[in-house]
Structure 1
């Protein structure tokens, strides 16, 4: 049956004419391989004195350029019942072996003389590498080893994964075997790709097929005992549950310290510098410590730790007095103006504080930069942001508290998405349960937009105004857009009521018995005559009249625009 071999569609994606004028181990001139799904069929290619193949994506070729090593591999493959394809070069006895590499454990797809975990030395080929099947009339097929018809090829076994080790195991004899296996056990125990049982299997195969003379079972078992693998980190088990089990679980709802605004977990508060974040934080801390509403949101009274790391005690006292007026300072608000950094015991010191003050449910860190540690060697900005913010998030979850981490925003990276502008990389925002960002269209604006979003908080935008006399932020509405629309409407109404356009129209109606019709130019001329000059062109006045229609109606004036084609429109005003 093997003599009728016609290629292998499970492993190979195409067949290619070989270069018969050269060594026959490369494709013929003009034959493109990379990116082509089909060049020749097996039958077409096999008509040539030299031809080869190309692996499918996710497949790998591990080849042995040593006849004795090739024989030992074949013995190992049969003993382990590995499911692979093996082709032999009849000229020198060297082997090509083919496997799945769909999990991508072998990442370097073109490498020579690679040390494999079991002790072999091999070349590795993948991708668009040309694999000769016939060289100047000498066939390297049919296979000398293959799977059964109802089987599938397997992933590369752990024994054949390349490893970066100095250990020399091939053909070791007396004197080097024990040390070699022990060293390999320790080396592989630090490679997360290998479990304890997989390392035992690798070493057992090394002893059986790699060494010139194998170790007695008694000596091998000493090396394989548990003590050898003390430092190994086992692959964690994936814990899952099905949806029916999830339905039956009694899960506590998310706990809020400030309803709809600050849940248990990590909360990021950000704004540009000098926006009043510290006033915001101080009022938040006071409100929770006293059980008072904050910005109209209900609080759950608890102890608060406010770390004002950019402030002084005298200024904190002055600001609290300003916020509270004649009310007494609450004992449940704890204040600090210095702390350790994350790499110098910050979380440990806060843990001790919580042991002493277990009623604490809110910690405000103002600002994040003051507790940041040193970056570790070769650590990227994203990695350090994610690690440090993640440590604080984990701490908050473990102690079931809310931690508000105060930071800044960068200038206008994305005016439509305030959360993108939070300083640092996405590693900070990615760790947060909730984010609060304060922004203004212009720094001098009175109204500040408070944008809120999070895992357990719906996206909302609220209008805030800072009351400088009281030192408090005041929420103006449940909707920023509605508030701004109403504000703009009131501004336009005020402009209308005091403007010369209204005064002129009122005078026209008074002089003409409550009805007047004419062009915009006539209105402008009359306004000058009345001493209420309208400094607009006729075209711009026409637009203004359309915009103030509603205000005119509030004044019991019906305005109608009378259009006559392309000519200028007349405007009719009636007192109703």
Structure 2
């Protein structure tokens, strides 16, 4: 068999970002000759935190955890803590998988989160202290798996792109300040680079946005795409990964509970293990335009929603600028947000709680009807003018009377007249 050359290349580290205390200026240079197909006994099997420590040790970081390295690889020739180039080269030659894993790590990056604990006693769980959940968009987009669904051509991809820019730059989205917590990986599997470029320009993206776009990706379930996605996440410092769309990223029977659970669970665990948000653009089934349940509206099995940590549903009537974004999740209250398409910024803008916005719009229309009817009219007359349900109009009139914008008159038979405040009637 021939030999494959793998090099631990010098990687310059910006001290302004890594901090002088990190003590990392560049990788120590090694060249590893690994026989093709050979896998060492320990290669690649240590926990990711220990691999990170090894990468920092090879880079010459004085704070590398030597004990963690020894615990994972007792035969690692680290001696008294000073890299022995010849000994390490020979050791890594026998562990090509480990060498590749080390190459994928930026030694200036923060260490990965501790291994996830899966077994607790009742007493341990009651006294344990857990960190607060991380949010990509505070109160709306948590870490974990989020599905963003809607009917085709309603603006889902525009919204996903908008969120990607905000997360990568520390911008503003849907009425919330979005903190910059890391980079963004964006799998734009339904669009060509030209279209994404055009949309970025329409949204006034800065060239400094830390977003990596990928326009082709192996199938997440069949062609090693999930492992490649994990490698990409671990090689960077990401706060958000966007997959647009689920149907393009992985081929599976979305009506099959087992397949849906397996695919979505794999994505969810990847997101939770790395403490990031994974936003997957999905579709609504055909009746969704007139439906009200964003869980039942998801295309395919409801098992998809059962796995997801959060579900967003975008509802918009064709030709209308306004829409409703419905949000539900494990760690947040159900929300219905009125959003409006802003042609100037090519992005969705939050108008506030959808019920409040609808009520305010109803008040405005009733006041306009009163004015059109001469400043005084009954509930029945206003309902007929607006082609609205009489009960709804009655509730809106009661709000207007309470706020002082309309005056309730004396009952005349079965009807009560209402007068627009300040109106003069004959």
TM class by smaller structure: 0.5 to 0.7
Residue 493 and residue 278 in structure 1: after superposition, are their counterparts in 2 closer, same or farther (change >3 A)?
same
1:501 aligns with 2:374: yes
1:273 aligns with 2:152: yes
Residue 421 and residue 334 in structure 1: after superposition, are their counterparts in 2 closer, same or farther (change >3 A)?
same
Task: Give the equivalent residue in structure 1 for 2:305.
Answer: 429
Task: Give the equivalent residue in structure 1 for 2:325.
Answer: 450
The 5-angstrom pairing of residues 522-561 of structure 1 reads 550=400, 559-561=409-411
> What's the secondary structure of 1:561's corresponding residue?
coil
Shift of 1:556: 8.2
Task: Identify the match of residue 419 of structure 1 among 291, 295, 299.
Answer: 295
> What's the secondary structure of 1:443's corresponding residue?
coil
> What's the secondary structure of 2:360's corresponding residue?
helix
Task: Give the equivalent residue in structure 2 for 1:317.
Answer: 197
CA distance in 2: counterparts of 1:404 and 1:374, whole angstroms: 19
Shift of 1:340: 0.7
> What's the secondary structure of 2:158's corresponding residue?
helix
Contact 2:294 2:312 in 1 (8 A): no
CA distance in 2: counterparts of 1:395 and 1:546, whole angstroms: 49
1:438 aligns with 2:314: yes
1:462 aligns with 2:354: no
Task: Give the equivalent residue in structure 2 for 1:287.
Answer: 166
Task: Identify the match of residue 404 of structure 1 among 269, 275, 279.
Answer: 279
Task: Give the equivalent residue in structure 1 for 2:361.
Answer: 487
Task: Give the equivalent residue in structure 1 for 2:245.
Answer: 367
CA distance in 2: counterparts of 1:395 and 1:548, whole angstroms: 52
Task: Give the equivalent residue in structure 2 for 1:338.
Answer: 216
1:306 aligns with 2:182: no
Task: Give the equivalent residue in structure 1 for 2:141.
Answer: 262
> What's the secondary structure of 2:411's corresponding residue?
strand
Task: Give the equivalent residue in structure 1 for 2:3.
Answer: none
CA distance in 1: counterparts of 2:246 and 2:319, whole angstroms: 26
CA distance in 1: counterparts of 2:373 and 2:402, whole angstroms: 13
Residue 455 and residue 554 in structure 1: after superposition, are their counterparts in 2 closer, same or farther (change >3 A)?
closer
Higher relative contact order (CA 8 A, sep 6+): 2
CA distance in 2: counterparts of 1:366 and 1:298, whole angstroms: 23
Residue 350 and residue 449 in structure 1: after superposition, are their counterparts in 2 closer, same or farther (change >3 A)?
same
Shift of 1:278: 0.7
Contact 2:145 2:271 in 1 (8 A): yes
Alignment coverage as a number of residue pairs: 293
Q: Which runs of no fewer than 5 residues in structure 1 stay unpaired?
A: 1-238, 507-519, 525-534
Contact 2:165 2:209 in 1 (8 A): no
CA distance in 2: counterparts of 1:431 and 1:572, whole angstroms: 52
Shift of 1:361: 1.6
TM-score normalised to structure 1 length: 0.46
Residue 455 and residue 546 in structure 1: after superposition, are their counterparts in 2 closer, same or farther (change >3 A)?
closer
> What's the secondary structure of 1:300's corresponding residue?
coil
Residue 349 and residue 545 in structure 1: after superposition, are their counterparts in 2 closer, same or farther (change >3 A)?
closer
Shift of 1:496: 2.4
Find the structure with the greater CA-based Rg. Answer: 1
CA distance in 1: counterparts of 2:415 and 2:330, whole angstroms: 56
Q: Which runs of no fewer than 5 residues in structure 2 stay unpaired?
A: 1-117
Over residues 493-535 of structure 1, what are the superposed CA-to-partner deviations in whole Å (9 max), with x where a residue is unaligned? 12322x1433xx69xxxxxxxxxxxxx9xxx9xxxxxxxxxx9
Task: Identify the match of residue 228 of structure 2 among 335, 349, 372.
Answer: 349
Contact 1:270 1:436 in 2 (8 A): yes
Task: Give the equivalent residue in structure 2 for 1:392.
Answer: 267
Contact 1:267 1:404 in 2 (8 A): yes
Residue 322 and residue 247 in structure 1: after superposition, are their counterparts in 2 closer, same or farther (change >3 A)?
same
CA distance in 2: counterparts of 1:557 and 1:279, whole angstroms: 45
Residue 361 and residue 496 in structure 1: after superposition, are their counterparts in 2 closer, same or farther (change >3 A)?
same
